[in-house]
Amino acid sequence: MPALDEFDLLVFDLDGTLVDSRYDLADAVNFAMEKMGRPQLAYDDLPPLLGSGLRYLLEKAAGTADRQQVERAKQHFDDYYEQHFTDKTRLYPGVMSTLQALDAKTKAIYSNKMQYFTGRIADALGLREHMAMVQGAQPESFALKPDPEGLYRILRKLDTPANKALMIGDSTHDLEAGRAAGMKTCAVTYGYRPAAVLKKQSPDYIVDRFPDLLSIG
């Protein structure tokens, strides 16, 4: 029996798992840095900074944790990203056909990207119709991954016990959150973290391509 059969709920990270968003994110960060007179990031500089939320990304890009400076950077980022969030963002190969093959499963998106943009990307790229729930960061309501609180919220809302749910993501935060919530975890190696880093987290499953999810075991 394929391992996937034991799960009633599949929870997917967004950036680096379902979509490659690094270029639009880098362009928005660089717009903010230009407005603030800070150095630009190369596209290759961005992936290690992703997965911990926008504030962390902007702090690292700007080289400061000063609250006012980071808030200024966020406003510039939001102004740009609002207009360009899917200029270069694309689904990874095989994502849509695999989600269609999994239509009998309950599925959800859980991202550390702010709720507003998580929802808009899910809509723009045709992901929402395959999801029972699309949840982005809502700092006023629950902590970001790797804290498991957001996953507890999904499990409650979708009435699924943790041992019947699988967390799928490209970052250590995804794996740590899933494990802390009592879920099994699946690492994807094509995203924003090296496979060697992910393997150190001892995920239950590892896939090198999204469609390989159909044959984990």
pLDDT in tens, 72-129: 999 999 999 999 999 999 999 999 999 999 999 999 999 999 999 999 999 999 999 9
Compute CA distances 9 → 12, 55, 172, 216, whole Å: 10, 30, 20, 15
Q: Domain extents for the chain? A: 3-20+89-215, 22-84
Identified catalytic residue from 13, 24, 27, 174: 13
Higher pLDDT, 111 or 47: 111
CA distance 83 to 32: 14
Mean pLDDT, the chain, rounded, equals 95
Separation CA 17–CA 87 (nearest Å): 18
pTM: 0.93
Beta bridge partners of 178: none
Q: Over the stretch 119-131, which tens digit does the pLDDT of each residue have?
A: 999 999 999 999 9
170 assigned to active site: no
Specify the CATH number for 3-20+89-215; select among 3.40.50.1000, 3.30.2350.10, 3.30.70.380, 3.10.450.50. Answer: 3.40.50.1000
Angle at CA of residue 47, ends 210 and 7, nearest 5° = 30
Q: What is the DSSP string of 61-129?
A: HHT---HHHHHHHHHHHHHHHHHHTTSS-EEPTTHHHHHHHTTTSEEEEEEEEEHHHHHHHHHHTT-GG
pLDDT tens readout for residues 184-206: 999 999 999 999 999 999 999 99
The DSSP secondary-structure symbol of 16 reads T
Q: Return the percentage of the chain with pLDDT > 90, whole number.
A: 93
CATH of 22-84, one of 1.25.40, 1.10.150, 3.40.50, 2.60.40: 1.10.150
